[in-house]
Structure 1
Amino acid sequence: MSTAEKKLDSNPEILLKKRKNADRLRIEKQQQAKHRAEERQKQQNAKKSNNKFVRAETIVARKLASDRENERIKRVTKFDKMNYKLDDNDDKERLLFVVRIANPHMGNIPTRARKVLSILRLNKINQGTFVRLNKKVEPLLHLINPYVVVGTPSLSTVRNLIQKRATVKVDITEESDKTITPKEGEDNEESKPLEGHDFKIIALNDNNLIEEKLGDYGVICTEDIIFEIFKLGDAFLECNKFLEPFTLKEPVTGWGPLSKLERLEKKEESKLHQVSSKRNAPLNEVDIDKFIESQI
């Protein structure tokens, strides 16, 4: 009888234990992730349901503002359906940086506009993302024109945003399922799992992470991401998805006299800058370099 036939075709007991523990830990991590998601949803609902007294005039004003905004969305959608023509020869793409601003009216944001904001990942005020402007994206920007400001950033602005404000989402569920190898002299029957959440947001300061996620597209460092974003390269979509929305600072902070003066000047400027509700009106474009200069 050969040695291969004598060898038992079975796993050792310690491997069976590890597999059993791995299955149990995976189920526990899934249940913990579900519980954390439910807790986060409860906290968000608790923040929204504030029991403040609201005057009847305020309710009526909000209702009228919401109706006007719904009518604007209908006009914009109707105009796009009647006048939408896609000509590949005239489709000139350019880079835009879109920043979410405060709502200009008291009404609720319509569902269609809120969905566009969600697609662009602009769920909070003072968040911004890069967008490739073309004839397919322009109608979407007109839907959310009152809620955002857009502009063409320069190379220095793109570099400053990515180097100073770029963050990425790292999934640590798999890392939390990993086990710590015991040292010599410790009990190795059961290993301790690493504790962690579902994901975490970290600053983009590691080229190894970039090469791991975007190496298949020829992007291996921060400078490659800057080049792909600014030049609208072939890997623009992948790089833009890899980056989380940029969270900018408030333009005016503090309670001193100079801060109060700047806040008043900013309020007066906002009164002069009126956004047209017409579909054929231009986008709410500003000097984006100057706009985010003090917010990086």
Structure 2
Amino acid sequence: VKLNKATISMLRIAEPFIAWGYPSLRTVKELVYKRGFGKFQRRRLPLTDNTFIENILGKRDVVCVEDIIHEIYTVGKNFQPVTNFLWPFKLNNPTGGWRKKTTHYVEGGDFGNREEKINQLLLRMI
């Protein structure tokens, strides 16, 4: 999600139900490679072939999986078309389970703004 004043206020409202933060490039790369699927004619297709990506997003200079990762991580000019092309990521529960899902992260729980520590949680969920 592109981070601006409006999305921050929406995240604050939903904060008791979600964990959020700022992922690293490594985490975004693993997420796209392991859990990434593209949308084409309302179907979910794996991102295994760069020609598939080039046919759909080529006019926006996105021709491979690495370009998708770059647009997501840097929130580039083609961020919106790339995120619309991607199927929502399906994640598992974290290995080892949730610690305290009813309390905030700053109180030792699991939900809320984890900042850069979201990477540890995401790697357990991928």
TM-score (norm 2): 0.84
Of residues 189, 201, 223, the one that matches 2:44 is 201
Q: How far off is 1:250 after superposition?
A: 2.0
Report 1:1-296 matches (<5 A).
131-171=1-41, 199-252=42-95, 262-263=96-97, 266-267=98-99, 269-270=100-101, 273-274=103-104, 284-286=112-114, 287-296=117-126
Give the residue type in structure 2 aligned to 1:291: L
Q: Residue 108 of structure 2 corresponds to which residue in structure 1?
A: none
Question: What are the ranges of 5 or more consecutive residues in structure 2 without an aligned counterpart?
Answer: 106-110
In structure 2, what is the Cα distance between the partners aligned to 1:157 and 1:232? 15
In structure 2, what is the Cα distance between the partners aligned to 1:146 and 1:212? 40
Give the secondary-structure state (helix, strand or coil) at the position aligned to 2:101: helix
Q: Residue 18 of structure 1 corresponds to which residue in structure 2?
A: none
Task: Please give the per-residue CA displacement for 1:236-263, whole angstroms capped at 9, x wherever unaligned.
Answer: 11111111111011224xxxxxxxxx45
Identity of aligned residues (%): 34
Give the secondary-structure state (helix, strand or coil) at the position aligned to 1:246: coil
Q: How far off is 1:170 after superposition?
A: 2.2
Task: Please give the per-residue CA displacement for 1:141-165, whole angstroms capped at 9, x wherever unaligned.
Answer: 2222222110100010010011111
Task: Please give the per-residue CA displacement for 1:60-118, whole angstroms capped at 9, x wherever unaligned.
Answer: xxxxxxxxxxxxxxxxxxxxxxxxxxxxxxxxxxxxxxxxxxxxxxxxxxxxxxxxxxx
Give the residue type in structure 1 aligned to 2:125: Q
In structure 1, what is the Cα distance between the partners aligned to 2:55 and 2:17? 36
Question: What are the ranges of 5 or more consecutive residues in structure 1 without an aligned counterpart?
Answer: 1-130, 172-198, 253-261, 276-282
In structure 2, what is the Cα distance between the partners aligned to 1:200 and 1:228? 22
Greater radius of gyration (CA): 1
In structure 1, what is the Cα distance between the partners aligned to 2:101 and 2:74? 32
In structure 1, what is the Cα distance between the partners aligned to 2:113 and 2:104? 12
TM-score (norm 1): 0.38
